[in-house]
């Protein structure tokens, strides 16, 4: 087996390779002055099982193209089987038509990957459990919940209630509750204006008497940070004293790190599914690794 990676998250790829007692194989990634890229495989991959690791996060389209080019180069060089490890799968929130006339961007990306004859996809915490059904190739859908549960058991479980910031997170929150010995959980009712993206929190689904001193908010991703900041403010109004956040994918667009650091949120735990550059790190942030759970599947 050989492991390659694109440029979006080399530290994670190195940790996955190290967890398997391996090193990353060599690729040449050349960028022409006009921005076009050329990929060249620098090792013999004839009849090899090849893994390509690439998170398709910002810049989303460039990272997707790089992934496609690496896969094509490996196929042309004689790779036997290709597994695309896409820890964060870009465009996953556009998984169906929300308003008439819209593209289903996720299906477009899946179509590209499949047309390149990828054999298998491994990914982490997709926005919806139905997404794997959109593929025509095997998909291994991993979860960061065991990593989160371990961190919570170490320091946060006492006097806590789990909170989903929207009804879409109910499945995840009930699984996490099981991992923590049936810890109490509730969900905020969130409404998003599909045209403006503006969100409103209108109530709590579940037993509000369970809201105790400490809330642990679970989400699949933090993009602008607004969902988390508003959820924490909403919970504080309901008497919660501490808010700790666990979210798998640290998309951290725009001013999210600033908003989170200056919010009433106490701590923010994310994973390394997306590379957080130094300038986006902030004191309240802790990054946990999903490398081992991915490595076990390869
Ligand atoms: C929404 O359904 C997702 O689960 C996240 O809550 C959302 O994408 C987070 O986005 P933002 O940080 O921009 O509020």
Report the pLDDT value the prediction gives residue 95, as an integer from 0 to 100. 95
Pocket test for ligand 1, best of 199, 220, 274 (most atoms within 8 A of CB): 220
Residue 191 annotated in active site: yes
Per-residue pLDDT band for 84 (boundaries 50, 70, 90) equals very high
Average pLDDT, the chain: 95
Measured from CB, residues less than 6 Å from any atom of ligand 1 are 165-166, 168, 219-227
Strands 120-124 and 160-164: unpaired
List 141's β-bridge partners, or say none: 123
User: What is the rounded average pLDDT of the residues 28-40?
Assistant: 96
Please count the other Cβ atoms lying within 10 Å of the Cβ belonging to residue 258.
12
What pLDDT, on the 0 to 100 scale, is given for residue 78?
98
Q: How far apart are CA 203 and CA 24, in angstroms?
A: 48
Nearest ligand 1 atom to the CA of 220 is 4
| Residues near 2 by beta carbon (within 8 Å), at least 6 away in sequence | 25, 43, 45, 48, 49, 50, 51
Residue 148, pLDDT score: 97
The model's pLDDT over 255-294, given as tens digits with 9 standing for 90+, comes to: 999 999 999 999 999 999 999 999 999 999 999 999 999 9
The residue ranking higher by pLDDT, 104 or 209, is: 104
- Ligand 1 pocket test: pick from 88, 126, 219, 268 the residue with the most ligand atoms within 8 Å of its Cβ: 219
Lowest mean pLDDT among 4-13, 21-30, 150-159, 263-272: 150-159
pTM of the model: 0.95
Secondary structure of the chain as H, E, C letters = CEEEECCCCHHHHHHHHHHCCCCCCCEEEEECCCCCEEEEECCCCCCCEEEEECCCCCCHHHHHHHHHHHHHHHHHCCCCEEEEEECCCCCCCCCCCCCCCCCCHHHHHHHHHHHCCCCEEEEECCCCCCHHHHCCCCEEEECCHHHHHHHHHHHCCCCEEEEECCHHHHHHHHHHHHHCCCCCEEEEEEEECCCCCCEEEEEEECCHHHCCCEEEEEEEEECCCHHHHHHHHHHHHCCCCEEEEEEEEECCCCCHHHHHHCCCCCEEEEECCCCCCHHHCCCCEEEECCHHHHHCCC
Could you give all domains of the chain from N- to C-terminal order, each with its CATH number?
Answer: 2-142 (3.40.50.2020), 145-289 (3.40.50.2020)
Long-range pairs, 24-30, Cβ under 8 A, ≥24: 27/70, 27/73, 29/66
Is the confidence at residue 132, as pLDDT, over 90? yes
Q: What is the mean pLDDT of residues 51-79?
A: 98
Instruction: With cut-offs at 50, 70 and 90, classify the pLDDT of residue 254.
Output: confident
Query: pLDDT at position 157, please?
Result: 66
- Nearest alpha carbon, ligand 1 atom 14: 227
Q: How many residues does the chain have?
A: 298
- Per annotation, catalytic residue among 117, 130, 153, 191: 191
| For residue 175, pLDDT beyond 70 | yes
Around Cβ 194, how many Cβ atoms within 10 Å?
10
- 139 beta partners: 121
Please compute the mean of the pLDDT values over residues 81-109 and round it to a whole number: 97
Quick: pLDDT tens for 179-233.
Answer: 999 999 999 998 888 888 888 898 898 888 878 789 999 999 999 999 999 999 9
Model confidence at 20, pLDDT cuts 50, 70, 90, reads: very high
- Of residues 153 and 194, the one with the higher pLDDT is 153
Cα–Cα distance for residue pair 97/295, rounded to 1 Å: 34
Atom of ligand 1 nearest to the CA of 226: 14
């Amino acid at each position: 087996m050989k492991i390659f990676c694109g440029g979006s998250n080399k530290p994670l790829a190195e940790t996955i390779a190290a967890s398997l007692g391996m090193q990353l194989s060599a690729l040449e990634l050349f960028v022409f002055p006009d921005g076009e890229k050329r990929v060249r495989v620098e090792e013999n991959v004839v009849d090899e099982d090849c893994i390509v690791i690439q998170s398709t996060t910002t810049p989303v389209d460039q990272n997707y193209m790089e992934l496609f080019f690496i896969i094509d180069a490996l196929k042309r060089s004689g790779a036997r089987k290709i597994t695309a490890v896409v820890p964060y799968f870009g465009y996953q929130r556009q998984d169906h038509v929300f308003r008439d006339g819209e593209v289903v961007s996720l299906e477009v990306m899946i179509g590209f990957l499949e047309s390149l004859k990828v054999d298998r996809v491994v990914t982490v915490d997709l926005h919806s459990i139905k997404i794997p059904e959109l593929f025509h190739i095997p998909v291994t859908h991993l979860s960061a919940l065991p990593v989160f549960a371990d961190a919570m058991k170490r320091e946060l479980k006492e006097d806590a209630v789990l909170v989903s910031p929207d009804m879409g997170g109910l499945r995840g929150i009930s699984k996490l509750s099981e991992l923590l010995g049936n810890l109490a959980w509730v969900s905020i009712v969130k409404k998003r204006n599909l045209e403006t993206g503006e969100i409103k929190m209108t109530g709590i689904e579940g037993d509000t008497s369970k809201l105790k001193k400490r809330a642990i908010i679970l989400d699949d991703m933090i993009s602008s940070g607004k969902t988390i900041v508003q959820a924490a403010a909403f919970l504080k109004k309901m008497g919660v004293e501490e808010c700790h956040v666990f979210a798998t994918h640290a998309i951290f667009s725009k001013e999210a790190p600033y908003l989170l650091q200056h919010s009433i949120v106490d701590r923010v735990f994310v994973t390394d599914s997306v590379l957080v550059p130094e300038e986006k790190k902030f004191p309240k942030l802790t990054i946990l690794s999903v490398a081992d759970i991915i490595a076990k599947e390869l």
